[in-house]
Amino acid sequence: MDYRIEHDSMGEIKVPADKYWGAQTQRSLENFKIGNKMPKEIINAFAYLKLGAARANSALLSDRMTKEKLNIIEKVVSEILDGKLYDHFPLVVYQTGSGTQSNMNVNEVISNRGNEIAGKKLLHPNDDVNMSQSSNDTFPTAMHISAVLAIKTRLFPALSELTYALKALEKENEGIIKSGRTHLQDATPISFSQEISGWRASIERDYEMIEKSLEPLKNLALGATAVGTGLNAPKGYDVLVAEEISKISGVDYRTENNKFHALTSKGEIVFCHGALKALASDLLKIANDIRWLASGPRLGLGEITIPANEPGSSIMPGKVNPTQCEALTMVSVQVMGNDTTIGIAASQGNFELNVYMPVIIYNFLESVNLLSDAITSFTNNCVRGIKPNSEKMKENLNNSLMLVTALTPYIGYEKAAKVVNVAYENGLTLKEAALSLGYLTGEQFDNYFKPEEMI
């Protein structure tokens, strides 16, 4: 492999000749061989903020951020966002907790690639690309930008498709009456469409909560520089850079009024991920409902059928399992685990900086991406193929002893309970038990006992 010599404040170091990164990236690459690479969403967010910063600096410090420099930075950022330079961002999540070396990785790549385009030494990674910035305010800014964009571009479309599929399923199954269940025990009747509506409403409410939780994430730390005082950033830069990032990204970001809060607290990320955890909780519940209702095919509830996507056993021929439900529930518990990591990491802000930022955003983005993928798979490969087993639903409904609830206004709670006990202990129908006890005549029972009116 061919190398070139780069230098930083610590001296010289060899860097692969075909890579655009510089000395600080190389040192981090050699010192931290731990786990996964920094997510692409973070790299893209850095590209947005570096271009926004260059434009703001060009407006406020035109003698330093010249039009020529700005033009070159814009060209390199365009290449990053087009995915052409991802091989030049090799650093891992588990590095410095401020994300300093990832900030410098972006600075070095933009600088070196920019100088290659310009054909001369035009850009310096610190003096130009990092102008009016610090790693301490760029990384939390990248966190917020990437979090909002990931949810808007990936998770929301997936949730909308699931909601649409559930609405269609709800409409298809109007008029089908089945037994409700509470405590995993028989309960009073419910229509299948009502049961589905509960699932659908949960997803809609989760969407609303996540959407509300994005608002605090639209506050950006840029302009805080190292400790929140804004040292070395020109007046008005914080407001202007947020406006420029908004134009570039299409999201209305704004500067955070209290920059000291912006550097040390990660409450906004915790709050938003809490909404993601609420979604995961509902998804786990819905997936469990569906696999319970589809259990069997002969010895379970068997009230619905779901698509048979692949063989379910290597030893039992013909077995089919609710694999989409299982995948979704595994994703849900992973999101809950990520929430624990994020919460603990966010609690570790000391004085003017939190130094757990890379692990916080890595887990956040993993949650968003896992949920997006799993929801899309679940919608397409399970929900859209759910079919009711109307006969089984009717059979279970008719066998339910909790239909006796329809009689309590006429014979009272205690007598109704007696009817249930006699029916259960003697293998009788509710009507047979009520008549044997002399509580009702056959005509009265038929007049009062109408399951379809109990929903």
Please indicate, yes or no, whether residues 112 and 165 belong to a single structural domain of this protein: no
pLDDT of residue 358: 98
Please indicate, yes or no, whether residues 76 and 180 belong to a single structural domain of this protein: no
Assign residue 146 the CATH number of its domain. Answer: 1.20.200.10
Give me the domain span that covers residue 428.
Answer: 400-453
Peptide bond into 297 cis (omega under 30): yes
pLDDT of residue 253: 98
Tokens for 335, please give them.
Answer: 């999101």
d(CA 32, CA 86): 19
Cα 203 → chain centroid: 13
Tokens for 74, please give them.
Answer: 């814009």
Asked if residue 367 belongs to a domain, the reply is: yes
204, burial (CB in 10 Å: exposed 0-12, middle 13-18, buried 19+): middle
pLDDT of residue 303: 98
Assign residue 39 the CATH number of its domain. Answer: 1.10.275.10
pLDDT of residue 100: 97
Please indicate, yes or no, whether residues 386 and 415 belong to a single structural domain of this protein: no
Catalytic residues: 183, 313
DSSP output for 231-269: TTS-TTHHHHHHHHHHHHHSS--EE-S-HHHHHH--HHH
pLDDT of residue 310: 87
pLDDT of residue 369: 98
In this structure, the strands spanning 3-8 and 11-16 are antiparallel
Instruction: Give 189's strand partners.
Output: 179
Cα 272 → chain centroid: 9
Low-confidence ranges of the chain (pLDDT < 70): none
pTM confidence score: 0.96
Please indicate, yes or no, whether residues 385 and 421 belong to a single structural domain of this protein: no
Please indicate, yes or no, whether residues 194 and 256 belong to a single structural domain of this protein: yes
pLDDT of residue 312: 85
pLDDT of residue 385: 97
pLDDT of residue 320: 87
pLDDT of residue 1: 83
pLDDT of residue 249: 97
In the chain, the number of structural domains is: 3
Please indicate, yes or no, whether residues 144 and 240 belong to a single structural domain of this protein: yes
Residue with tokens 């600096």: 57
Please indicate, yes or no, whether residues 207 and 279 belong to a single structural domain of this protein: yes
Asked if residue 395 belongs to a domain, the reply is: no
Query: Domain end: 87, 115, 131, which one?
Result: 131
Please indicate, yes or no, whether residues 54 and 193 belong to a single structural domain of this protein: no
- Please, which residues have CB within 8 angstroms of residue 282's CB and are 6 or more apart in sequence? 202, 203, 206
Helix (H) or strand (E) holding 217: helix 192-217
Asked if residue 424 belongs to a domain, the reply is: yes
Please indicate, yes or no, whether residues 264 and 349 belong to a single structural domain of this protein: yes
Please indicate, yes or no, whether residues 98 and 185 belong to a single structural domain of this protein: no
Please indicate, yes or no, whether residues 72 and 103 belong to a single structural domain of this protein: yes
Helix, strand, or coil (residue 66): coil
